[in-house]
Amino acid sequence: MLEWLAPRDRDAAGLKYEVIRKNITRNFARHGCTIAEELADEVINRVAERLPEILDTYVGDPALYFYGVANKVLLEYVRRKPDPLPVPFPQPSENIERIHACLEECLERIPTEHRDLITEYFQEDKRAKIESRKHFARRLGIGLNTLRTRAYRAKLELRECVEKCLKRK
């Protein structure tokens, strides 16, 4: 392979090989490949395997052949990209227990209308959340934007209380 990269000059061939490998690795990393170096090695191996077949007929800069193979390997990687590893479920800790204790304490401290607003406003998920908030706003006789503003302010008040509580404990 080195002879193909730079005939009769092993040092120049070695440098050219390193530049090609570095460029391929950078290209893979730029495309979000988590195993860029392994894929670069795969490209080098594939070129080395095909070299006896193409050596006599290939015309042009050998680096371009490497880059062409690298593009094919990148497409294969994107097609078979493995699913991300599952996020481990956090184990209960003292910190979480402290947060819950402070949240309970603060929910008891804030005005009843704020507590009711927060618990009802953040109760549902997806489509049910939208419908629930519409009904809640109608029941209070206010618009959705007013409801959002009130919920935001109540949540800020609750957050401040929880943060102060956590500093005390």
What is the predicted pLDDT for the residue at 70? 97
Question: Options 1.10.357, 1.10.10, 1.10.3470, 2.60.40; which CATH number does 94-168 get?
Answer: 1.10.10
Query: 20: buried, middle or exposed (CB in 10 Å: 19+, 13-18, 0-12)?
Result: buried
pLDDT at 62 over 90: yes
Give the pLDDT confidence of 96-150 residue by residue, as tens digits: 888 899 999 999 999 998 899 998 988 888 888 888 999 999 999 999 899 999 9
What is the predicted pLDDT for the residue at 1? 85
Tokens of 51: 């070299």
Residue 82: pLDDT band (50, 70, 90) is: low
pLDDT at 156 over 70: yes
Give the pLDDT confidence of 26-60 residue by residue, as tens digits: 999 998 888 899 999 999 999 999 999 998 899 99
What is the predicted pLDDT for the residue at 26? 95
What is the predicted pLDDT for the residue at 134? 92
pLDDT at 12 over 80: yes
First to last CA, the chain: 67
What is the predicted pLDDT for the residue at 87? 61
What is the predicted pLDDT for the residue at 71? 96
Range scoring the smallest mean pLDDT among 7-21, 81-95, 106-120: 81-95
Q: What is the 3-state secondary structure (H, E, C) of 99-145?
A: HHHHHHHHHHHCCHHHHHHHHHHCCCCHHHHHHHHHHHHHHHCCCHH
What is the predicted pLDDT for the residue at 128? 87
What is the predicted pLDDT for the residue at 93? 67
